[in-house]
Structure 1
Amino acid sequence: MKKFSIVIAGGGSTFTPGIVLMLLDNLDKFPIRKLKFYDNDGARQATIAGACEVILREQAPDIEFLATTDPEEAFTDVDFVMAHIRVGKYAMRELDEKIPLKHGVVGQETCGPGGIAYGMRSIGGVLEIIDYTEKYSPAAWILNYSNPAAIVAEATRRLRPNSKVLNICDMPVGIETHMAQILGIESRKEMVIRYYGLNHFGWWTDIRDKNGNDLMPRLKAHVSKYGYVVNNGGDNQHVEASWNDTFAKARDVFAVDPETLPNTYLKYYFYPDYVVEHSNPEYTRANEVMDGREKFVFSECQKVIDNQTTKGCALHVDEHASYIVDLARAIAYNTKERMLLIVENKGAISNFDQTAMVEIPCIVGSQGPEPLSIGEIPQFQKGLMEQQVSVEKLAVEAWATQSYQRLWQAITLSRTVPSAKVAKEILDDLIAANKDFWPELHKEEAVPVIS
């Protein structure tokens, strides 16, 4: 059986150890000959890599391991690039959240102005990874799960249309894990789902077991009372209080359209007033992560390095990341697995923008994804999606043309923002904060002062 060479782009991420442990758990299904880490922050990566080197030595000493900041070294001789980069790290995420909140607007990592700001930073980094891959390993597939996935996916469609990049997100996997727990079944893979939308902006329309039995009524009954909250979520990633609130709020999101089951992120668009009211502008989700997962992962990694053993180590397998192995296997072995991917619409949703990057079920094989037909979608979802996809397209256009006007329009169009005046105030603050990361924006014409 062929063994594969993988580079994890974003080797210094707090998610990298969990992904490595998940890959090692699946070596029987997806054998690895070489594993490389790439990050432009060598010092941060060194701690994660040092611990992972010990893990590999204990569990799979035959796998060649390398951590590097040199693109040629990283991207040469690889079959798969697994990309999860965070340009600006958590310090910039904190600003993405706190600057909009200062103006009374939702401060969130991938939604609203914060998501747009993050997208403006991510585009260049993801394109750079695509270019490195095409230069040094042109046959490799890039499995990109860098956020904000919707804006990044639109950027790859528009600016690297011929690249072998697949854009994916683990949030539906996380929600489906909760659904499986609600139903009392062992795995989300026992469910056959129909879903459509944009990334972090979608709906489940049908969920059945492998025998074709409809599971939606039981799920709807639970969600109408409790949202996606379950007593034992079995979810190591989404454990903080803010996530519990997000899963609970799905009850109110569901009430808006009880024909479907919603992605939790819709709360930011349907109830932005609630979100702002329940946010602490001094201590946001970024602070939770920095004080929680980031400190935990780095301290555990340092412990492994100091002891040169994983004995007593609390690092755990990232179950969410199992979908990355499923996707790599589908391509490597032509398994024709059914998976949710972010792909160009091209008629899959018949009454929606053909060039939109939509999140829908696809059959995945060695040639990549074959999107399944969704057909027509209802007016409510169509209207919401048309507004949101325009935000994403305007943001990418702003990056590509360095246009202040287009970015102002993108923020103005977000459902989370109450007016163009507020949008401009937020944009000006975000420009100042992102001067080291964004392209310099130019005003096409004089912008009047708005009082």
Structure 2
Amino acid sequence: MKLTVVGGGSTYTPELIDGFARLRDTLPVRELVLVDPAADRLDLVGGLARRIFARQGHDGRIVTTSDLDAAVDGADAVLLQLRVGGQAARQQDETWPLECGCVGQETTGAGGLAKALRTVPVVLDIAERVRRANPDAWIIDFTNPVGIVTRALLRAGHRAVGLCNVAIGLQRKFAGLLGVAPADVHLDHVGLNHLTWETAVRLGGPEGADVLPRLLAEHGDAVAADLRLPRPLLDRLGAVPSYYLRYYYAHDEVVGELRTKPSRAAEVAEMERQLLRMYGDPALDEKPALLAERGGAYYSEAAVDLAAALLGGAGSPYQVVNTFNRGTLPFLPDDAVIEVPAAVGGKGAAPLPVADVDPLYAGLMANVTAYEDLALDAALRGGRDRVFRALLAHPLVGQYGYAEQLTDLLVAHNREHLAWG
């Protein structure tokens, strides 16, 4: 089996490599290709990747290259984890929206739109090259904003599934609080990427008993602290929102915080400098502890599980993924991309039935889905007016004066990445 990682020079990659090494019985990778245009980073990451495989006794071959076409040739699955514009672009996404009093974040709001505009054309070009190389290859998208990028891939007819680590992170967290094995915890996880709620926590399987009331009663303070949301809010919701919901539920509070501290992008950039120095140490043959602070926890396990299921291996038959709605949530279009538990196999991901969704959540989902549709239109066809429409539709913007100003700022900061800018 050949797998290719686009963006293989990312400091995330050793997390993925560690998962491939540990879970080789689930996903027997014979050749793993890391492709990235940044040769210096790729050399460091590739060297550590080979040492991790050697330490854990994995006899698979790791190849590094900057040649995308060679990298995807014959690949059974291609994982996308790229960042167009690098951390410098992320720094901008997280700062210029604050000038208008709007959240600066790399996956949602105005910053998330900027990332989508930069990313979608690049990803679609990569996907076409994958399709020419092997029409049967699966594309696993971990590139943010996952919902919009996955929607672009699926609408273009690619064999693609989107992946996020929020669900697996909450599953592991809840399992620890409840004192059970993670495999015994099944989430009723519903929403869009980075806009999700856990409406039930079931033990033993998708039809198991719901222990969410017990979880909130016994561990609500710990869960609320992790989310940085008030405990009474969780009690009133009777659900556990994704930590990304804080941008909506406490928007002004978050903006105030972001204006008074270094950006997450600045923190990550410094962390990456430290990690790359570590990766260059020929004695290092395991992922360093610092990597856990970089983000993407459990990404490797989720990616291995998904790839294995898609390729007919030992992956779990039910996984939380991003895929077409297809009537699962009747208040959204069929071609909306939703994030829900799905049956995953060689034919792709089929969403499992979802219980009726509280209007409190359904309304926000519908609003953000409309924004995503406009954002994808702007990413595919360009133009200032399309950017303005997407921003005006976003619930974190919503006022025409802000949308006008943010449109000007977005175009000014991203002109080099926009063919029409």
Instruction: Give 3-state SS (helix, strand or coil) of 2:362's partner.
Output: helix
Is the contact between residue 198 and residue 385 of structure 1 (CA under 8 Å) also seen in structure 2? yes
In the TM superposition, residue 54 of structure 1 has moved relative to its aligned partner by 2.8
Which residue among 277, 281, 288 is the counterpart of 1:303?
281
Question: Is 1:173 aligned with 2:168?
Answer: yes
**2 CA distance for matches of 1:192 and 1:202?**
15
Q: Percent identity?
A: 29
2:354 aligned with 1:361, yes or no? no
User: Is the Cα contact below 8 Å between 2:49 and 2:62 reproduced in 1?
Assistant: no
**Secondary structure of residue in 1 paired with 2:360:** helix
Distance change in 2, residues 1:426/1:46 (3 Å): same
Equivalent in 291, 302, 305 of residue 270 of structure 2 = 291
Gaps of 5+ in 2: none
2:80 pairs with 1:102: no
Runs of 4+ in 1 over 4 A off after TM superposition: 311-318
Map Cα deviations across residues 255-302 of structure 1 (whole Å, 9 max, x no partner): 5x523221111110121101011113661111111122x123212101
Deviations 1:141-176 (A, max 9, x none): 111111111211222233x1x211111111121122
Alignment of 1:62-211 (within 5 A): 62-158=59-155, 160=156, 162-187=157-182, 189-210=183-204
Distance 1:165 1:209 in 2: 30
- 1:189-227 residue CA offsets vs partner (Å, 9 max, x unmatched): 211221211111111122111172321112222564343
Stretches of structure 1 lacking an aligned partner (at least 5 in a row): 230-243, 442-451
- Deviation at 1:127? 1.0
Deviation at 1:313, TM superposition (A): 5.8
- Structure 2: how far apart are the matches of 1:384 and 1:185? 33
Distance between the aligned counterparts of 1:96 and 1:431, measured in 2? 11
* More displaced 10-residue stretch of structure 1: 271-280 or 376-385: 376-385
**CA shift in 2, pair 1:252/1:385, >3 Å:** farther
Alpha carbons of structure 1 residues 314 and 263: separation in structure 2 relative to 1, 3 Å? closer
Give 1:228-377 correspondences, 5 Å limit: 228-229=224-225, 247-249=227-229, 251=231, 254=234, 257-280=236-259, 283-292=262-271, 294-304=272-282, 307=283, 310=285, 314=289, 319-333=298-312, 337-377=317-357
| 2: CA distance, partners of 1:401 / 1:253 | 40
- In the aligned structure 1, how far is the partner of 2:371 from the partner of 2:218? 33
Aligned partner of 2:215 in structure 1 is 219
Question: Conserved in 1, the CA contact under 8 Å of 2:194 and 2:245?
Answer: yes
Which amino acid in structure 1 is aligned with residue 37 of structure 2?
N
CA distance in 2, matches of 1:258, 1:270: 12
Q: Distance in 2 between matches of 1:117 and 1:432?
A: 11
Say whether residues 1:37 and 2:34 are aligned partners.
Answer: yes
How far 1:59 moved relative to its partner? 3.5
SS in 1 for 2:357: coil
How far is 1:79 from its partner?
Answer: 1.0
Contact 1:203 1:262 in 2 (8 A): yes
Distance 1:312 1:263 in 2: 27
Q: Is the 8 A contact 1:208 1:215 kept in 2?
A: yes
Partner-residue secondary structure (3-state), 1:436: helix
Mapped to 1, the partners of 2:149 and 2:98 lie a distance apart of: 24
Q: Distance in 1 between matches of 2:391 and 2:338?
A: 20
CA distance in 1, matches of 2:174, 2:286: 33
Q: Distance in 1 between matches of 2:364 and 2:154?
A: 21
Count residues in correspondence: 414
Following TM superposition, by how much is the alpha carbon of 1:310 offset from its aligned partner in structure 2, in angstroms? 2.5
d(CA) in 1 for partners of 2:288 and 2:377? Answer: 46
Write the distance in 2 (CA, Å) between the matches of 1:101 and 1:316.
28
Deviation at 1:138, TM superposition (A): 2.0
Query: One-letter code of the match for 1:85?
Result: L
Amino acid at match of 1:192: H
The answer on 1:392 being equivalent to 2:372 is: yes
- Of residues 389-398 and 366-375 in structure 1, the stretch that sits farther from structure 2 once superposed is 366-375
After superposition, the Cα gap between the structure-2 partners of 1:62 and 1:406, relative to the gap in structure 1 and judged at 3 Å, is: same
| Change beyond 3 A, Cα 1:50–1:434 | same
The residue aligned with 1:428 is: 408
- Give the whole-Å Cα distance in 2 for the aligned partners of 1:342 and 1:217: 27
**Residue identity matched to 1:426:** L
Task: Give how far 1:399 is off.
Answer: 1.7
2-side partners of 1:101 and 1:253: how far apart?
26
Instruction: Note the C-alpha offset of 1:23.
Output: 0.5
Q: What do you get for the CA RMSD once the two structures are aligned?
A: 2.2
1:21–1:214 Cα change, 3 Å: same
**1:30 to 1:312, Cα distance in 2 relative to 1, 3 A:** closer
